[in-house]
Chain A
């Protein structure tokens, strides 16, 4: 599930660091899982009471960070729609590949009911170590930030142990720091339309995370329509118009949440949402294969494009003419 690459370190030291990171990840995997028996699922059942309860220390900081990021995204990144995710069958138990082949979209009325009850992260309020949800339909699924949060942590652990050059790779989302000594770390950006091909590549500078949200990660097909796991909280249905979004930022948690929010924003609103979230290295590939990149991303990417691909470069910062 997670792959760590380090250079310039003795094997023994590397193994100790890996062990520490692995232990932390396994612990979080257990306590953050909203679908099984865990601290998170206990929090979620307590949220239904809309009363003040004590916040589990293992989940409190992540929920807090997820709330900040949700506000920044204007609610597009919304980890509190766990009930909707469950209704669609995208609640994946670890090791289980959901949803099944014969899955179909849920009843429209049930989707509408959950959209109208409007669960959002701002319904969750903190008072020191206490926490409550003002909305009984809030069900937090940390899936959109957990990986980024965990990767920030992994890099922190490596740094504390004196390791300066590393790549932490969690199944296509990654964070790197330093170099490979002889050259910078080089990351391929996989073509979302052809997984065997790289659409481009990038060198890691200093400390950077690369996060991608795609409609091909978890989905099912019903009557020739593809239903994927990135749900638009405004409609209750999978977000349309985008194939994948890649975000680069030093903070893995931010990159993780921003990739999701920008995906949901879609080809018309993505620039504004990216700016609001404070990310400027963004690539969006729409469902027709057109590529949109921010200028800041373009200047870092080495694109290997086919001749017929449309590429649009959008400068995020206003251009100053002198």
Chain B
């Protein structure tokens, strides 16, 4: 992937997120100049980035949004929810396109049209829309009008520009652009789309293309229409309407504005713009280097600046300069002096200016300083973006280091045993201790890297709650507390779904409508709080609502209807236990199934997800006063590596750290030692214990075939476990034995396998003693 694109994708997502947050805050807490300014800057930066990666449709739409925000800033427009809604819709479109762009490196074919529609909607919110008093003073606006034309029209016009110009020269007339997307089943209705186009009067341009790329002849259904027909006509609008009267839903006819008929200009402007952007990127990098004073971040800044500048230059097809900048950057790094890079960037800037002066006279009059000044004013982020995979690799290596250092302890013992050299053994021991401490610290520090605040998953919630409460006609205020509490990324990431279910449930079932609340003597605006805190090595997240609460009687009734358990069992349950039933699969108390929740999934998903990461869910509720769901989670997922073995028809997990070797042993190597079987392994006699016997399971009759053994060491004892089969090696989250099993001996815990089975993990230390 093109690094410039990658950077764009990451940044665009962040900007969309930030702008969404600010828009929501603006809606909830009212507009402040700083807030509007921040939203404006986010849109502005997004627009600039869209320009760099050449996404004109996105740029066009964002330009309209920017105009709206500028009007907001100037006080011409009130920051009402219509503005916020459109702003959010615009951001949704951007993020959808960014996703698309990530996969296909381009926007969907209808992007230009969608952008135009969105831009129109945004502009409709402007005061005196259409006339736009500022239009005259704004240079770029003229270009944006031409750009407002859907790309397909300008393409069509361009394809036949000479004949169109000639035709207009003969007789000036209004031009109509026709876009006709026949239904896939149109052939069965007797439609002949090309036949209709044949009737179009004064046809000036025509194009026929597939709506979706052809997938080869093998799968082609000749009677499914996959075509899009587009045309430019100078004919009569009424005549066109008559031709397409039977397919109004499939045809769009729009007037081609006169601006579109002057092709060429727009493209030149775009080229000038792009070189301006590259210049501003370079200037920004210079500013960033100059701003760096501290020694500690020198390498990071210089490296990043050289890379960004080189990328931008490459993008502008100035590969020669890109290489020079990279060389200068490397030199600056090795000399720890940025001067050479700065001067190389200066030269690059100068060359860009000369270059664009030759290309385009207009842009030379505009000095590159103004964007640079703006860039310098922006505070530099001192964050390092690291791919999660790299961190995980570090975690793994640190884990392996800890295992490797364990070998040193054995080494020290062997030194003493074989050489009888006490002092040497002590020296090795001391080194071992140092390395042990360092490896432990390293491991902890690396795990710390993976700690992220809960705020990360909470960001979408204000938006979600706003949308959902609007749809449900309920008034809800969301508060979040403790969002700075941190836990491992794996935990935090997996919290999103459960929290989403809980918030949805609270909104849909818990919170009452405004009238009901008023009748109950509560404040009309309900509250939902998401609250996180850290207690010891646990991470607690709670979703608290002040809604109608869970009625145990209703749950009992439901459980009886659904026949979830026997009548007498149900009667024996306390109210708290009854409320706990909502976590059962297939339980839903909503009277109606809504599109927000209430499909009978949800609460059981919450419990499953939370238990998978080693957590617990509990719920407390008071009728009329609200519900609190509490998720109690570990701070990080401690992964254990296990080996799955089978014996007597059952599977068990054996911790890998205890396993020394797996051996396949022919019967002739087995010796009878006292009453037990054993064998010689690396000069030691190892007793063989059939696992089936230890687990009191029916074992296989000991025949003459080779035995499968796991040589394991635990609690200082060496033994070989005889098993029937050895399965996968897995990284699992070990959950301590709970409930009825809590007292069971010989197990260190359980884990949930991918297929839903519960696997018991053996505690070898306890078993072998």
A, B assembled together: no
Measured CB to CB, the residues of A under 8 A from B are: none
- Give the A-binding residues of B (Cβ under 8 A): none
